[in-house]
């Protein structure tokens, strides 16, 4: 296989310079790549229906005998029409073809063909216009459909693949050695490639797919693990080992056991032989900021600097406010870097940062800007990491000499996925909420009861609390979906005299900040918002939340939203409003209503909606998967992960039988900037 990846696609019969260019565009510059260009779908040519039973206006597959020589008819515009009738022995099917002068040569009277196309006609006569067809003996049960581009049809790709398959040597260096294939019940590579392109049966296809999916996951996982060891440089910023009691003394509260444990784990890394690469997963409100503060404090004690990057300006300002209040008095100089800050202030801060007078730089991705330079960056923390790509993470890290890396995520990612996305990180879990947290009671109601929900909100307001009202849209778009615009008018009427703020993504950063600021200080009592409030906003006095069109959100997103309340000592309520009737949707929402555990919700979300929610728009920066699908192939993913861990733990991978596998891993991670994989 390795040599096929070096063989230029032009060496295939029928592929010249022009087509080669098209293949390159499809990501297949070599014969090996072509074999890994898997069909996007399959057409079933095996399940013929009798003509009489074909469904009108649907794609039908019919096997029939040609009754006569196709007849030629001239039609308007100088076009030629060919007509031919075929029969399945019971009923006739009339076929027409436009401008295809090969038809009389291709369809021979008395011969059998399989036709596939949209069925037209009426009750008495069935017709197909320009159906695809194959001689009956060639119409295999299942035919591949490739991602065609202009100038390169699926059929052309199919025949090129067939030529490529013929080049496969009898004994292939299979990346998965025999013993491993036997252990996991996987097909050999040659068999799998033939099976994925030209399966003889659904079963063969399934076996081929399973093997290729397994291999893809295994290669990806091994690559991630290899990246992790590739990053093992010397620890240039060791901190003092042991739990920092004097830091704990700065806090207005007592750290939870989980916080102490995670701080100890992280500082253990930072005091160890290699730089830290750690993910802290903690449910909303579990107190990740205090963990970050502890590490920044410890870094400042050594004289080196830290950077904390948050995805939004609101969140960055909030971190700046709480961290500078906490660490400032202890001599840790903090500064905020955002895109909207005045140029003069930015220049002044940049100078102080470069001189080492600032110990902790907090900001948005403005921190990545070229002009921001550190004197000695020893620690990089990214908050709500799933919003950043791996590249942004490393862009910040490159401002220091192999700094420690901490990634904080509030999305409880199911472990399986965490291993995939963050496979190159060690993982700590903050699995305990600070004491005294009030339960958030969750209700699910239909819009007819909205007034009752509002009375409930009023009750919280009367007790001095504040509330969030969340809508899916910013402006009304003519659909029944609630918008911030419509809703704030509604709220104005329902709560006369109550100051109401507005927060959404279209506001300027300064306006967003002001809205947040006013709400945090209690000057506005209600905040009508989109999911902008989802990310990390912390107002402990907010104790009620109404979420309109709750069916529009993923469970993990709802969980993030709900995490905005119940952060203080007040009993809190979350009211989901939906007019959904669909039983599946309702049971999903009921499950959310009855569950608090973020991990359980994340698992359910993964099963229901797939991994998209966790990955965002492919922001994870991982190599793209060709055949495997994290949600649908979860079981194979888990097996491949266990296999990768086993291989990585021993020195099996170094053996000669794994040479081909090591090659696949290197090929996958060979893009520039993807880091060095050490296997």
List of residues contacting ligand ADP (CB under 6 A): 253-256, 259, 282, 284-290, 410, 434, 536, 538, 540, 567
| Shortest Å, Cβ 181 to ligand ADP | 44
- Nearer CB in complex with ligand ADP: 54/411: 411
Residue 371: name its binding partner from ligand ADP, Mg ion, none (Cβ under 5 to 8 Å by kind).
none
**Of 490, 327, 304, 480, whose CA–CA distance to 401 is shortest?**
304
Name the one residue in this structure whose structure tokens are 């008395």.
110
Residue 540: name its binding partner from Mg ion, ligand ADP, none (Cβ under 5 to 8 Å by kind).
ligand ADP
403 binds Mg ion (CB under 5 A): no
Q: CA–CA separation, 119 vs 96, rounded Å?
A: 12
| Shortest Å, Cβ 287 to Mg ion | 8
Residue 400: name its binding partner from Mg ion, ligand ADP, none (Cβ under 5 to 8 Å by kind).
none
| Shortest Å, Cβ 415 to ligand ADP | 19
| Shortest Å, Cβ 536 to Mg ion | 4
At 635 the three-state DSSP class reads helix
Stretch of 361-369, 389-397, 496-504, 536-544 contacting Mg ion, by CB under 5 A: 536-544
Residue 287: name its binding partner from Mg ion, ligand ADP, none (Cβ under 5 to 8 Å by kind).
ligand ADP
Contact pattern for Mg ion over residues 487 through 526, marking x by CB under 5 A: ----------------------------------------
Tokens of 48: 């013929």
Q: CA–CA separation, 210 vs 634, rounded Å?
A: 11
Residue 195: name its binding partner from Mg ion, ligand ADP, none (Cβ under 5 to 8 Å by kind).
none
Residue 527: name its binding partner from ligand ADP, Mg ion, none (Cβ under 5 to 8 Å by kind).
none
End-to-end CA distance of the chain: 20
- Nearer CB in complex with ligand ADP: 211/288: 288
Q: CA–CA separation, 18 vs 528, rounded Å?
A: 57
| Beta strand spans in 472-582 (E) | 500-503, 526-529, 542-547, 572-577
639-668 burial, b at 16+ Cβ within 10 Å, e below that, comes to bbbebbeebbeeeebeeebbebbbbbbebb
Angle between helices 189-197 and 154-167 (to 10 degrees): 160
- Nearer CB in complex with ligand ADP: 256/549: 256
Size of the site for Mg ion (CB under 5 A): 1
Beta bridge partners of 121: 126
At 424 the three-state DSSP class reads coil
DSSP class of residue 480?
Answer: S
536 binds Mg ion (CB under 5 A): yes
Residue 268: name its binding partner from ligand ADP, Mg ion, none (Cβ under 5 to 8 Å by kind).
none
| Shortest Å, Cβ 265 to Mg ion | 18
Q: CA–CA separation, 264 vs 209, rounded Å?
A: 44
| Shortest Å, Cβ 468 to Mg ion | 16
| Shortest Å, Cβ 437 to ligand ADP | 8
DSSP class of residue 398?
Answer: T
Q: CA–CA separation, 155 vs 148, rounded Å?
A: 9
Stretch of 531-539, 560-568, 589-597, 614-622 contacting Mg ion, by CB under 5 A: 531-539
* Nearest residue (beta carbon) to ligand ADP: 287
- Nearer CB in complex with ligand ADP: 177/287: 287
Query: In sequence order, what are the residues at sequence separation of 6 or more whose Cβ sits closer than 8 angstroms to the Cβ of residue 315?
Result: 383, 384, 535, 536, 537
Stretch of 144-152, 393-401, 426-434, 533-541 contacting Mg ion, by CB under 5 A: 533-541
| Shortest Å, Cβ 317 to ligand ADP | 13
- Nearer CB in complex with ligand ADP: 259/488: 259
- Nearer CB in complex with ligand ADP: 157/601: 601
- Nearer CB in complex with ligand ADP: 216/283: 283
Beta bridge partners of 59: 118
Residue 259: name its binding partner from Mg ion, ligand ADP, none (Cβ under 5 to 8 Å by kind).
ligand ADP
**611, 615, 616, 621 alpha-carbon torsion, rounded to 10°:** -140
DSSP class of residue 400?
Answer: S
Residue 255: name its binding partner from Mg ion, ligand ADP, none (Cβ under 5 to 8 Å by kind).
ligand ADP
Beta strands 79-87 and 92-98, pairing class = antiparallel
- Nearer CB in complex with ligand ADP: 188/522: 522
Cα three-residue angle 327-331-337, rounded to 5 degrees: 60
- Nearer CB in complex with Mg ion: 103/379: 379
| Shortest Å, Cβ 408 to Mg ion | 7
| Shortest Å, Cβ 568 to ligand ADP | 8
| Shortest Å, Cβ 323 to ligand ADP | 10
At 79 the three-state DSSP class reads strand
Q: CA–CA separation, 559 vs 569, rounded Å?
A: 19
- Nearer CB in complex with ligand ADP: 235/259: 259
Q: How many CA atoms lie within 13 A of 561 on its CB side?
A: 32
Stretch of 98-106, 263-271, 477-485, 529-537 contacting Mg ion, by CB under 5 A: 529-537
- Nearer CB in complex with ligand ADP: 194/567: 567
- Nearer CB in complex with ligand ADP: 49/600: 600
- What's the gap between Cα 310 and its chain centre? 19
Stretch of 295-303, 530-538, 605-613, 626-634 contacting Mg ion, by CB under 5 A: 530-538
Residue 431: name its binding partner from Mg ion, ligand ADP, none (Cβ under 5 to 8 Å by kind).
none
Q: CA–CA separation, 352 vs 582, rounded Å?
A: 58
Q: CA–CA separation, 372 vs 349, rounded Å?
A: 9
Query: In sequence order, what are the residues at sequence separation of 6 or more whose Cβ sits closer than 8 angstroms to the Cβ of residue 69?
Result: 84, 104, 109
Residue 253: name its binding partner from Mg ion, ligand ADP, none (Cβ under 5 to 8 Å by kind).
ligand ADP
- Nearer CB in complex with ligand ADP: 215/431: 431
CB 557 within 8 A of CB 427: no
CA-derived radius of gyration, the chain:
31
Tokens of 63: 């096997």
| Shortest Å, Cβ 405 to ligand ADP | 18
| Shortest Å, Cβ 408 to ligand ADP | 7
Q: CA–CA separation, 494 vs 467, rounded Å?
A: 14
| Beta strand spans in 175-292 (E) | 277-282
563 binds Mg ion (CB under 5 A): no
| Shortest Å, Cβ 288 to Mg ion | 5
| Shortest Å, Cβ 45 to Mg ion | 55
| Shortest Å, Cβ 383 to ligand ADP | 7
Quickly list DSSP for 344-362: HHHHHHHHHHHHT--SEEE
* Nearest residue (beta carbon) to Mg ion: 536
Sheet holding 426-430, edge to edge: 334-337, 360-363, 305-309, 377-383, 404-409, 277-282, 426-430
Q: How many CA atoms lie within 13 A of 182 on its CB side?
A: 3
- Nearer CB in complex with Mg ion: 199/536: 536
How many helices (H) and strands (E) are present in the chain, helices listed first?
Answer: 23, 22
- Nearer CB in complex with ligand ADP: 259/524: 259
- Nearer CB in complex with ligand ADP: 117/536: 536
Residues that bind Mg ion (CB under 5 A): 536
């Amino acid at each position: 296989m390795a040599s096929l990846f070096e063989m230029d696609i032009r060496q295939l019969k029928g592929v010249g310079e022009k087509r080669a260019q098209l293949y390159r565009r499809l990501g297949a510059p070599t014969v090996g790549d072509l074999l890994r260009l898997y069909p996007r779908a399959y057409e079933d040519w095996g399940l013929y229906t009798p003509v009489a039973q074909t469904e009108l206006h649907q794609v039908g597959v019919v096997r029939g005998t040609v009754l006569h020589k196709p007849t030629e008819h001239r039609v308007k515009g100088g076009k030629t029409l060919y007509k031919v009738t075929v029969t399945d022995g019971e009923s006739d099917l009339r076929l027409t073809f436009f401008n295809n002068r090969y038809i009389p040569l291709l369809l021979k009277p008395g011969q059998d063909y399989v036709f596939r196309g949209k069925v037209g006609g009426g009750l008495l006569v069935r017709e197909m216009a320009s159906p695809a067809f194959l001689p009956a003996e060639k119409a295999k049960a299942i035919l591949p459909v490739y991602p065609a581009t202009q100038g390169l049809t699926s059929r052309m790709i199919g025949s090129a693949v067939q030529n490529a398959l013929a080049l496969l040597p009898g004994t292939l260096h299979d990346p998965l050695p025999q013993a491993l294939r036997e252990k996991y019940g996987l097909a050999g590579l040659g068999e799998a490639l033939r099976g994925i392109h030209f399966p003889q049966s659904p079963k063969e296809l399934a076996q081929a797919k399973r093997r290729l999916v397994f291999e893809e996951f295994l290669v990806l996982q091994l690559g991630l693990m290899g990246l992790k060891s590739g990053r093992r440089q010397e620890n240039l910023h060791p901190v003092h080992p042991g739990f920092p009691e004097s830091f704990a003394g700065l806090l207005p509260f007592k750290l939870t056991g989980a916080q102490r444990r995670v701080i100890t784990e992280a500082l253990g890394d930072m005091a160890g032989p290699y730089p830290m690469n750690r993910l802290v997963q903690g449910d909303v409100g579990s107190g990740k900021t205090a963990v970050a503060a502890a590490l920044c404090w410890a870094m400042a004690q050594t004289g080196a600097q830290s950077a904390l990057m948050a995805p939004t300006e609101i969140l960055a300002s909030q971190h700046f406010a709480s961290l500078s209040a906490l660490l400032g008095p202890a001599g840790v100089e903090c500064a905020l870097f955002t895109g909207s800050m005045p140029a003069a202030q930015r220049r002044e801060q940049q100078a102080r940062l470069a001189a080492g007078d600032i110990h902790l730089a907090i900001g948005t991705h403005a921190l990545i800007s070229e002009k921001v330079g550190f004197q000695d960056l020893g620690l990089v923390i990214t908050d709500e990491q799933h919003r950043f790509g791996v590249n942004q993470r490393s862009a910040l890290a490159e401002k220091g000499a192999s700094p420690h890396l901490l990634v904080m995520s509030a999305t409880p990612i199911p472990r399986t996925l965490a291993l995939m996305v963050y496979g190159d990180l060690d993982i700590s879990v903050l699995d305990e909420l600070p004491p005294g947290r009030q339960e958030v009671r969750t209700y699910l109601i239909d819009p007819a009861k909205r007034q009752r929900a509002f009375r409930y909100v009023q009750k919280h307001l009367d007790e001095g609390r504040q509330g969030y009202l969340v809508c899916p849209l910013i402006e009304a778009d003519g659909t029944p979906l609630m918008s911030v615009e419509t809703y704030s008018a509604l709220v104005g009427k329902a709560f006369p005299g109550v100051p109401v703020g507005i927060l959404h993504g279209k506001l300027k950063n300064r306006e967003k900040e002001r809205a947040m600021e006013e709400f945090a200080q209690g000057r506005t009592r209600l905040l009508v918002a989109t999911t902008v409030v989802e990310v990390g906003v912390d107002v402990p006095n907010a104790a009620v939340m109404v979420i309109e069109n709750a069916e529009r959100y993923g469970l993990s997103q709802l969980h993030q939203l709900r995490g905005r309340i119940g952060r203080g000592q007040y009993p809190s309520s979350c009211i989901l409003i939906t007019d959904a009737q669909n039983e599946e949707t309702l049971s999903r929402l009921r499950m959310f209503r009855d569950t608090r555990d973020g991990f359980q919700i994340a698992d359910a979300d993964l099963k229901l909606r797939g991994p998209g929610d966790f990955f965002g728009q492919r922001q994870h920066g991982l190599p793209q998967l060709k055949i495997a699908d994290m949600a649908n192939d979860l079981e194979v993913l888990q097996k491949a992960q266990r296999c990768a861990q086993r291989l990585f733990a021993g020195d099996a991978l170094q053996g000669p039988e794994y040479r081909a596998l090591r090659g696949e891993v290197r090929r996958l991670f060979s893009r520039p900037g993807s880091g060095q994989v050490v296997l």
